[in-house]
Amino acid sequence: MSSGVDSSTTAALLAKKYPGQVHGIYMCNWTATARCTEDEWNDVKEVSKVIGIPCHRVNLEKEYWTKVFEPMIDMYKNGLTPNPDVGCNRHIKFGALLQWASDHQKRLTGSPEGTKWWLATGHYARVGIPAARDGTNLEAKSNIHHLLRPKDLSKDQSYYLSTVLPESLNRVLFPLAAYTKPQIRQIAVDLDLPTASKPDSQGLCFVSQDHGHFKDFLEEYVVPTPGDIVTEDGKVVGKHQGLWQATIGQRSGVSMPQGDPECRGVWYVSDKRTAENQIVIVRGRDHPSIFRTTAQCSKFRWLGSDISLDDLSSIRVQFRSLQDQGLSVSDITVKNGIPGSSAVTDISVQFSEPARAVAPGQYLVLYQRDRVLGSGMIDFTR
């Protein structure tokens, strides 16, 4: 339970369906002195009291720091565009927390060893064994569950869950899969949950509440590495304090002389030249240099073994969440191994049309219709 309306409603629905069998868990991933930590914990306790379930606070600060936060900082230092939510889901929510639940389920529930249990969350996604084209369940014998899109595509969170291990998915429930967000809000109101009208969280809570802006937060952990902001032809037009201060596709923030016809307009970040420590900017949001046609992942992980890439028309790719349910592809090349192998593979994906602001560090997720085929961190684009 994160203290949001989604996890609160999830707990309430399950408590109603399975009275006396549900426990709430709150993860403390950041320092306990952070204002948001205590605010969230208080909300979780209040919701748990209303719906009549016990709740437990689990400290996972060390795991979050080493598995999510430090890698994120290192990526920013190297000019990449990380997504900490993806790492948190794999290593913390469906890694360390799942292990904690496994270690403590007997004590919490009083049930004997071998009793079935699941970890439920308020994510908008589905877990299941989808039917193949011929109607058979190809993985029924292996009992490997697949990650699928939810009913409410406007809240689809399967992108953020794309690196969760298949064996973890076997222990997971997503009760909100068949609901829309407005329906969940209404259920929360009907059940008189204290979080019914609570706004959706945006980003990392300890950043928004204690620092205000993410750049201000990063400055506490990243040593400045000053460099030049340049145009494509190499003209120096400004200075930066680190490649992490710029995101490909966003406004540059450089004040170009509007009296000069060649400089007039809004300029955007098109590239980061790591070796030269330069940020490259171009004029216009849709400048061709901001677009890419190919992305490569050297450590792509497949989610399932019954994967075929023969029908490219059924496959979509996303490098951001909620990306209009994906872009079509014209070619996928697996350079070592085969699709669906248990080992990581090196793949190259070519988009049917140039895509805007594809950046190294982002996760590239492949879908076949509503199923997640796998994902990997982008390390090269062109």
Which of 307, 308, 305, 325 shows the shortest CA–CA distance to 365? 325
CB contact set of 207 (below 8 Å; sequence gap of 6+): 214, 217
Instruction: Look up residue 172 and give its DSSP letter.
Output: E
The angle subtended at Cα 247 by Cα 205 and Cα 327, nearest 5°, is: 95
CB atoms under 10 Å from CB of 78, counted, come to 14
Rounded Cα gap, residues 82 and 89, in angstroms:
14
Which among 28, 55, 205, 297 is annotated as catalytic? 205
Q: How many helices (H) and strands (E) does the chain have?
A: 10, 17
Q: How far apart are the first and last CA of the chain?
A: 41
Separation CA 97–CA 41 (nearest Å): 16
Is 55 a known active-site residue? no
Q: Which of 36, 55, 88, 263 is catalytic?
A: 88
Distances (CA, A) of 61 to 12, 39, 217: 27, 17, 18
Q: Which residues neighbour 170 within 8 Å (Cβ) at sequence distance 6 or greater? A: 143, 144, 145
Q: Parallel, antiparallel, or unpaired for β 278-283 and 227-231?
A: parallel
- The answer to whether the beta carbons of residues 188 and 42 sit under 8 Å apart is no
Evaluated on CA atoms 186, 188, 191, 195, the torsion sign reads: negative
Determine whether 205 is an active site residue. Answer: yes
Alpha helices in 191-312 (DSSP H): 205-210, 214-218
- Strand 315-318 relative to strand 327-334, pairing: antiparallel
Supply φ then ψ for residue 168, to 5 degrees.
-75, -40
Q: How far is residue 152's CA from residue 25's CA, in Å, rounded to a whole number?
A: 25
Cite the active site residues.
Answer: 88, 205
